[in-house]
Amino acid sequence: GAVVSQHPSRVICKSGTSVKIECRSLDFQATTMFWYRQFPKKSLMLMATSNEGSKATYEQGVEKDKFLINHASLTLSTLTVTSAHPEDSSFYICSARDRQGGSPLHFGNGTRLTVT
Partner 1 sequence: AQSVTQPDIHITVSEGASLELRCNYSYGATPYLFWYVQSPGQGLQLLLKYFSGDTLVQGIKGFEAEFKRSQSSFNLRKPSVHWSDAAEYFCAVGVNQAGTALIFGKGTTLSVSS
* Site of interaction with partner 1 (CB under 8 A): 4, 6, 9, 32, 34, 41-46, 49, 93, 95, 97-98, 101-105, 107-110, 112
Closer residue to partner 1 in complex, CB, 46/72: 46
Minimum distance of partner 1 from residue 88's CB (angstroms): 18
Minimum distance of partner 1 from residue 12's CB (angstroms): 15
Minimum distance of partner 1 from residue 87's CB (angstroms): 20
- Specify whether the CB–CB gap between 108 and 93 falls below 8 A: yes
Q: How far apart are CA 27 and CA 34, in angstroms?
A: 17
Distance (Å) of CA 28 to CA 21, 65, 89, 105: 19, 29, 30, 12
